[in-house]
Amino acid sequence: MKELATGKVTLTSQNHGYTVSSINEDVLEVTHIALNDNTIEGLKHKEAPAFTVQYHPEASPGPEDANYLFDQFMEMIHTTEKEGEEVCQNA
């Protein structure tokens, strides 16, 4: 898997039968791709504080390889709290 922003290549644990075939590039940005088949492995929303990966970051071969994703998530939570935005609402 390759993180496009940094060019960093990481071995990941994957087990999925579905892939993202297209995205609305006005709304989403591809953040990660699989090097073996060039499929999309990560996306982030361009305006909302939201991102996703389609692999198991908690099961990376190196015990801390994907910690940056969890750090990113926590930073998004703290930034949103500081700005007073209500991102999640009860249904």
Domain borders along the chain are: 2-83
C-alpha distances in angstroms, 20 versus 6, 27, 80? 22, 15, 28
Most confident of 27-31, 39-43, 74-78: 27-31
Whole-model pTM: value is 0.71
Contact 45, 27 (CB under 8 A): yes
Q: Evaluate if residue 81 carries a pLDDT over 80.
A: no
Alpha-carbon distance of 35 to 11, in angstroms, equals 10
pLDDT of residue 86: 58
Q: What pLDDT band is residue 33 in, cutting at 50, 70 and 90? A: very high
Least confident range of 6-10, 33-37, 63-67, 75-79: 63-67
